Structure 1
Amino acid sequence: MTDGDHRVTVHLDALLEERGMTLTELADRIGITVANASILKNGRARAIRFSTLTAICDVLECQPGDILRVS
């Protein structure tokens, strides 16, 4: 496996839509830039801090498995 290869998919789009929330609002509420939230949402992030994942789960009232899946 090379550095950029992985099978983790990010499902923030669906969660945001279900909750009627924009990416900008999520970024503001969890304390990250919209650019970094977009990188995460589009599956281009190389890593995510547990504190960021926890904040996302708190705001979206979900579990990490609702956001990240291995395909």
Structure 2
Amino acid sequence: MAIIVNVDVMMAKRKMSLNELSDKVGITLSNLSILKNGKAKAIRIETLNAICKALDCQPGDVLEYREDE
């Protein structure tokens, strides 16, 4: 997949656990885990907004585009 999700990188930089981010964002641990592991097919703008607010970052810090090889 060409879109890379860097939620785990931002969580590590902010020293935030999956449980803490799940509570702040308001999504289940399983859905956050799917997103973190790059298995999500889509993300709602509302969810991305909440993640960026919780992690004090920009959408480009969470999502990255890489050309498929």
Map of 2:53 onto structure 1: 58
The answer as to 2:11 corresponding to 1:16 is: yes
Q: Percent identity?
A: 52
Structure 1's unaligned 5+ residue stretches are 1-5
Q: How many residues align?
A: 66
- How big is the shift at 1:14? 1.1
Q: Structure 1: which 4+ aligned runs deviate by more than 4 Å? A: none
Which ranges of structure 2 fall in alignment gaps of 5 or more residues?
none
Query: Corresponding residue for 1:3?
Result: none
Q: When the two structures are superposed, what TM-score results if normalisation uses the length of structure 2?
A: 0.92
Amino acid at match of 1:68: L
Choose which of 26, 36, 43 in structure 2 pairs with 1:31. Answer: 26
One-letter code of the match for 2:23? Answer: D
Rounded Cα–Cα distance in structure 2 between residues aligned with 1:38 and 1:24: 10
TM-score by length of 1: 0.89
Root-mean-square deviation (Å): 0.7
